[in-house]
Amino acid sequence: MNIMDAIRGRRSIGKVKSDPVDRALIEQIIEAATWAPNHHLTEPWKFIVMTGEGRRTLGDAYAAIAQEGLGELEEAALAERLDKERAKAYRSPVVIAAVCSPSDNPRATHAEELAASHAAVQNLLLAAHALGLGAVWRSGDPMYHPLMHQAFNLGERESLVGLIYIGYSDMKELAGRRQPAALKTEWLEG
């Protein structure tokens, strides 16, 4: 698959099969992620790969965060809600927590480190698509919560930039459309 086909053909795949994904494929997509552009060659990313019961870390974090905001619920209702939160971690056979892990390089700004980490995730998504995998980049309030940070033992300067759910697509092919680039482009010419 050429790069233009990968860019135009990639879609967020939120429903995947439970079939396991070969570790070698996951290693390939992470390798692709590490080729993202990064100012001063700081490589400000790391990836936490969760499979099998390794996804429990994420599920327990979802449940702990939800429990903080639930207030008083009867025991059965609380247990049901927490089980629903934990189940989010098991929506795909592989979940990758993408982390911005800023370097100590004094010339690197935090904004550049975050941008590089986001570019790494885009590379990861494109590589997954090119290898026949479905993936979706999830975020949302729980991802930024201190309990999620704690669950992954992130350092003080580190932050999650995405939870990428990966598996073999269980969705019909999605059509994609974008506005023409000309509508989003301004030329300054002399």
137 is in an annotated binding site: yes
pLDDT score at 105: 93
CA–CA distances in Å: residue 120 to residues 56, 59, 147, 175: 25, 24, 24, 25
145 is in an annotated binding site: no
139 is in an annotated binding site: yes
CA 49/CA 163 separation, integer angstroms: 10
Give me the residues of the chain with pLDDT under 70, please: none
Q: How many residues does the chain have?
A: 190
pLDDT score at 135: 96
CA 165/CA 148 separation, integer angstroms: 16
| Domains of the chain, start order | 11-52+92-171 (3.40.109.10)
159 is in an annotated binding site: no
107 is in an annotated binding site: no
pLDDT score at 127: 96
CA 27/CA 24 separation, integer angstroms: 5
pLDDT score at 4: 84
pLDDT score at 177: 78
Token pair belonging to 28? 């390939």
CA 18/CA 103 separation, integer angstroms: 36
Residue with tokens 């919560």: 145
CA 50 to the chain's CA centroid: 12
User: Among positive and negative, which fits the CA dihedral 88, 90, 93, 99?
Assistant: positive
Maximum distance among all alpha carbons in the chain?
70
pLDDT score at 149: 97
pLDDT score at 76: 83
pLDDT score at 140: 94
